[in-house]
Amino acid sequence: MRDELTELLEAAIYKEIASQAFYIAGQNKTQDSGAKALMKELAEEELKHSQLLKNLKQRGFEKQEWHQEKVPNLMISEYLTGGDTLEGAGVQETLLFAMKREQQAIEFYSKMMGVMRDEAAKRLCQRLVHEELKHKLKLETLYDDMLAYGEE
């Protein structure tokens, strides 16, 4: 059963590294300086996430304690279309793209929680869902603030 937890951590690390690479590559797909800066910041966040997961893998997840606060879901990405590519994206499209990637991660870890047999792996899935919800909330709040500020 410990193998299940290790495989989950390795998959999560891979997903974070792939997202980081995607945002780094995306910086070359747009001329929008704001979008480039946002993608650079997103890539740095993904690097931090992968490092955190690597540390969990080295130290052991079972020893980790965390407090799970309620994270609101603004559900902005669920109602908007677009955000399918970073090609020529501006800041708004980049935010939408990132929100949708976070939503995909939430769905992935939620499904994984249902198939895991190991309790530690299930707890890790729950924590990863929680972390992705926090990332999505940050992006959705930024998106909402940007639109509210832009309309004034």
Domain with residue 26: its CATH number is 1.20.1260.10
Whether 68 maps to a domain, the answer reads no
Residue 102 burial (CB count, 10 A): 22
6-11: average pLDDT: 92
Q: Of 1-5, 15-19, 61-65, where does the model show the most confidence?
A: 15-19
Read off the pTM: 0.87
Q: What is the pLDDT of residue 152?
A: 42
Q: What's the average model confidence in pLDDT over 91-102?
A: 93
Which of these ranges, 8-17, 21-30, 62-71, 126-135, has the smallest mean pLDDT?
62-71
96, 108, 89: which is closest to 136 by C-alpha? 96
pLDDT of 29 reads: 93
* Number of domains forming the structure of the chain: 1
- State the residue range of the domain holding 28: 2-63+74-151
Closest CA to 60 of 113, 12, 103, 120: 120
CB 50 within 8 A of CB 69: no
Is position 69 within any domain?
no
Neighbours of 92 (CB within 10 A): 19
pLDDT of 113-139, one tens digit each? Answer: 999 998 888 988 998 999 899 999 999
Residue 42 located in a structural domain: yes
